Amino acid sequence: MNNFKSDQSLQDFQLLIHNVYGVTDDRDYSTWDLCSHVERYSLRAVKGIRKEQIDKIRLNLLVAMSWAMSFGNRFHIEVDEEVWKHFPYLCTYCGDTPCQCKALKSSGRKNVVVNELKRPKTLKECQKMFELIYPSASRNLVDAGIHLAEEVGEIVEAVQIYLGEHKVEDMKQISLELADYFSCIFAVANSAGIDIADELEKMYANGCPICKHLVCECTFSTTTHHLS
């Protein structure tokens, strides 16, 4: 599978990224390179929010999400599984849908009852789930962008800790932070009125959108300087 359809799942998108970019990611990019690109394009999306440029928000959000999937592949994290584990159609801090954390002043995740029948089957359904958990009407786009930037920092911090001691619990923290990051990707998209699945179908109609090959043949410098 080297293209994406709007009725496919988050797991399908992760597989697409592996099929298209797996070889070049493993050959050309260190873990810190991947982190840097997640950070780079996430913050470009935030810059688009500040400048109220929806096209920049949309493009950079999709690119950041793609690099985040490459990051997940590097650490063999099943993103769809982690997202569902930590966001099972409710906020795992307050245990409610929609989230009531502000009113309840929740701190720390709760043990919640998970209804597997509600699990999203497609990326579109996943985005809808996050709109129900964290309604875009309850925040503005700037707040969503700030939260996205915060989560990028928390991913980097989790990687630093794990690479220092390689503890199992630290690896679990990376998985958690990546799930939180994707929740923020969906939050920004919902606040900006961006349908991620539809946009990914356009971007990944036929392999890599830069070199146009089913298996990416971009050089390190080509990718690094693209959209600069």
Report the pLDDT value the prediction gives residue 113, as an integer from 0 to 100. Answer: 85
Domain assignment of residue 129, yes or no: no
CB 33 within 8 A of CB 223: no
Report the pLDDT value the prediction gives residue 124, as an integer from 0 to 100. Answer: 98
pLDDT digits (tens, 9 = 90+) for 167-226: 999 999 999 999 999 999 999 999 999 999 999 999 999 999 999 999 999 877 666 555
Long-range pairs of 7-10 with CB within 8 A, sequence gap ≥ 24: 7/122, 7/124, 7/197, 8/122, 8/123, 8/197, 9/80, 9/120, 9/121, 9/122, 9/123, 9/126, 10/79, 10/80, 10/83, 10/120, 10/123, 10/126, 10/182
Mean pLDDT on 11-25: 96
Six-digit token pair at 56?
A: 């920049």
Domain assignment of residue 71, yes or no: yes
Domain assignment of residue 191, yes or no: yes
140/107: higher pLDDT: 140
Residue whose C-alpha is closest to residue 7's, from 144, 111, 125:
125
Report the pLDDT value the prediction gives residue 227, as an integer from 0 to 100. Answer: 52
Domain count, the chain: 1
Report the pLDDT value the prediction gives residue 116, as an integer from 0 to 100. Answer: 94
Report the pLDDT value the prediction gives residue 133, as an integer from 0 to 100. Answer: 97
Domain assignment of residue 61, yes or no: yes
> What is the distance between the alpha carbons of residues 199 and 91, in angstroms, rounded to a whole number?
26
Domain assignment of residue 33, yes or no: yes
157: pLDDT confidence band, cut at 50, 70 and 90?
very high
Residue whose C-alpha is closest to residue 186's, from 177, 174, 195:
195
pLDDT digits (tens, 9 = 90+) for 43-86: 999 999 999 999 999 999 999 999 999 999 999 999 999 999 99
Report the pLDDT value the prediction gives residue 222, as an integer from 0 to 100. Answer: 65
Domain assignment of residue 216, yes or no: yes
Domain assignment of residue 120, yes or no: no
pLDDT digits (tens, 9 = 90+) for 93-131: 888 999 998 888 777 787 888 999 999 999 999 999 999
Report the pLDDT value the prediction gives residue 1, as an integer from 0 to 100. Answer: 73
Domain assignment of residue 104, yes or no: no
Question: Beta-carbon neighbour count of residue 32 at 10 Å?
Answer: 12
Q: What is the DSSP string of 120-158?
A: -SSHHHHHHHHHHHS-GGGS-HHHHHHHHHHHHHHHHHH
Report the pLDDT value the prediction gives residue 226, as an integer from 0 to 100. Answer: 59
- Residue 118 DSSP label: G
Report the pLDDT value the prediction gives residue 219, as an integer from 0 to 100. Answer: 79
Segments forming the whole domain that contains residue 167:
10-84+139-225
Helix axes 123-133, 168-192, angle to 10 degrees: 90
